[in-house]
Amino acid sequence: MALLEVDRVAVGYVPGIDILRGVSLRVETGHITGIIGPNGAGKSTLLKTIFGFLHPREGRILHAGEEIQAAAPHAIKRRGISYVPQGANVFPQLTVQENLLLGAWVERRDRARVARMLERAYATFPRLRDKRRHRATSLSGGEAKMLSLAKELVTAPSLLLVDEPSAGLAPRIASEVYARLVEACAAGVTILLVDQNITKAVEVSRYLYVIEGGQVRREGPQADFADHLRELIRDSLLGA
């Protein structure tokens, strides 16, 4: 069953110039769906559009069967959709725990529930427990990325939009971040993953789309991509 459907979406940042041109895709419940392609293809624009930062000129976006293409980000967040942009999306002068509490803001009136959410976050990201009283400015790049993920996962969203989770991270730390994404999916969070790390995207995704020039050029299950990593990486680098 599709939790999210993008139906022939056209969108851009200025009138008359579309970045995405008739993009359609489906995100099945309970799985990781990957989006790969060269820089400038429109992958990040797609996530921003789904989350309501941009509104399509044409097309529809459906979450659980309801159209959301005209909704604002705060309304989309209330529906159980969370968004992790590129880089470290944290409040640097706040502590790790204060960042997580902000992530759980919509549940702030239920203190017991918030406490359970924090405990679940610390169980998933043990390194953050040790630094829960530290300001986010003291975190390494990998720890800040983990905090970005934890802040959005703390409310157990139904759908998590993730943009370039390994950008700028050492391979060992990047592998840990992907492991946390796989664990979150196994715990019931559906994930739409935009990634330049072709190898990891193919490894963790059940189904993938290739976006080039603002359009879907190829799609298929993981098995269709696993044997062609070299070609995929070449095409992503060259934009071919």
Say if residue 161 is exposed, middle or buried (CB neighbours under 10 Å; 0-12, 13-18, 19+).
Answer: buried
pLDDT at 239 (0 to 100): 56
pLDDT at 95 (0 to 100): 95
Q: How far is CA 15 from CA 19, 55, 60, 144, in A?
A: 11, 12, 18, 36
- The partner residues of 219 in beta bridges, in order of sequence, read 209
State pLDDT tens for residues 206-224: 999 999 999 999 999 999 8
Contact 19, 42 (CB under 8 A): yes
Q: Is 183 helix (H, G, I), strand (E, B) or coil?
A: helix
Contact 84, 148 (CB under 8 A): yes
State pLDDT tens for residues 163-172: 999 888 888 8
pLDDT at 114 (0 to 100): 84
pLDDT exceeds 70 at position 233: no
At residue 59, what are phi and psi to the nearest 5 degrees? 95, 175
Q: What is the amino acid identity at position 142?
A: G
State pLDDT tens for residues 104-140: 877 777 788 888 889 889 988 888 999 999 999 999 9
